[in-house]
Amino acid sequence: MKIALAQLNYHIGNFKENTEKIRMAVRKAEQQGADLVVFAELAVSGYPPRDFLEFDDFIRKCHKAVEEIAQDCTDIAAIVGCPVKNLTGKGKPLFNAALFLENGKVSHETYKTLLPNYDIFDEYRYFEPNRKFETIQFKGKQIALTICEDLWNTGDHPLYVANPMHELMKYKPDLIINIAASPFHYDQQEIRTRILSQNAKNNKLPVFYVNHAGAQTELLFDGGSMVFTPEGVVFDELKYFEEDLKIFDLEEVKHSKKAQSAHHGQSEKIGLIHDALVMGVRNYFKKLGFHKALLGLSGGIDSAVTLVIAVRALGAGNVRAVLMPSAFSSDHSVTDAIKLAENLGCQYDVISIEEAYKSFENTLNPLFRGLPFDITEENLQARIRGVILMAISNKFGHILLNTSNKSEAAVGYGTLYGDMNGGISVLGDVYKTQVFELADYINKDQGIIPLNTITKPPSAELRPGQKDSDSLPDYEILDDILYQYIELRRGPHELINQGFDEETVKKVLRLVNTNEHKRYQTPPTLRVSPKAFGMGRRMPIVARYLT
């Protein structure tokens, strides 16, 4: 039996495009001699459809798409992910299903058993879990068909009571097929490979796994669909961050004598983050029908890295940089920013905020007279820049990219309605120390980002001689504390016991928790870590914990 894995970039609710892509892949797989072609979890609707699933019309369109796809499944069979109605009269209204299409119709429905309801996932909000287990007979083989999480209940501390493969093994399957929607983070590739390998070894069966490729707003899907031998060795894998289709001979996989993993995926973490961000920006614009991006270019490292990513995602002709110097901007910040824009070949404008700032000072003088310069005036400059950028966005149809990093977002080091503006946050899940790594990665082959941008002390340049270190711990220390607290959920006592300064720990954690209201108003953030701000980290705004 020859099995094709079709790794596609779906668009949530775009039934016409999703259906056409799937049907084209069915025909391509058939022409190349496949007996079965496998598509990802909820391929028909795109993932995650969220509350669209509450609309009957949305579900009807899903079913209509399946009927169209089934028309092409006469001489080839297909497995397609799709939501289906729960007709039992009990439980949630839908099942998350894998539909087996053959002879022009749906011949079998398999429902997802383990419904993740943690971090970015909320599937139990919509779907009823499966309680009936059976294999699918096709071409003389018994297929154990599973959906994403159904293979993840492994290890010493399983998250669920049930294990679908324990049930399916009673039917003596010949292979495991797993259709998934497994979002990217920089450790996910390694974790995913280990989990799937364990399933192959534990059950002594080949595993065929297919994932989404592409971005759905903040969620990035890296592809990397894989085939494993019964010994748990990676037989082959599909491309990362791209669409792909490959055909595999079941007998060849079963009897492969590969002694070690043929894992070709990008292993360098910072390279993965770079590729994911480029794909995320590209898909955000394409799927929303946008073409041109805009950002404020300060001469600092965050906006520099964001500009490079935007140019690589959209092309230099579709990215516009705006330099907005003030009285506190250093000369080299302007020259560094201009040099970068010229290196990349993108349009740039220089607009001083001095006149606008003086106008606001005069307007507010009756209220502020005699009061010292403080964060009010600093924020005023940031908000003037935000107004300028949004005016250009409105006038010319550019979408503003937010350039704030995760360290700043964590401790509230940013101005609401100023430098926190934007349609999408590119670096909002990238710590400052990782931004420096990204800059080095970008410059590894040629010096695109000026060296001075990378080496100078970070500064918002909103008051004379200002440096980030005036208000914050050194980023190496800050980011380590933030990572331990946000990603690893370690509390103050654990951090202090690790050797971090007690006052620094208390200050940082207090800043994180008191700035939740700011993060609540930020743009969607491209997710590259295991615990990103946004949908994957849900915290109350009005709270007193560690504040």
Cis omega (within 30 of 0) for bond into 116: no
For residue 500, give both structure tokens.
Answer: 């971090």
Among 2, 21, 41, 218, which one carries the catalytic annotation? 41
- Asked about 62 being catalytic, the answer comes back as no
Catalytic one among 2, 21, 61, 112?
Answer: 112
Q: Mind spelling out the 3-state secondary structure of 313-379? A: HHCHHHEEEEECCCCCCCHHHHHHHHHHHHHHCCEEEECCCHHHHHHHHHHHHHHHCCCCCCHHHHH
* HEC per residue, 94-125: EEEEEEEEECCEEEEEEECCCCCCCCCCCHHH
Q: Which of 62, 73, 148, 346 is catalytic?
A: 148
Active site residue 148: yes
Look up 82 and say whether it is catalytic.
no
Question: Which residue type does 513 have?
Answer: N
Q: Other C-beta atoms within 10 Å of 455: how many?
A: 9
- Residue 529, classed as helix, strand or coil, is coil
DSSP assignment, residue 118? S
Q: Which of helix, strand or coil describes residue 129? A: coil
Cα separation, 378 vs 401, in Å, equals 21
Q: Would you say 94 and 54 are in contact if contact means Cβ atoms under 8 Å apart?
A: no
Residue 299 and residue 338: Cα distance in Å, rounded?
8
Rounded-to-integer distance, Cα 526 and Cα 282, Å: 12
- Positions annotated as catalytic residues are 41, 112, 148
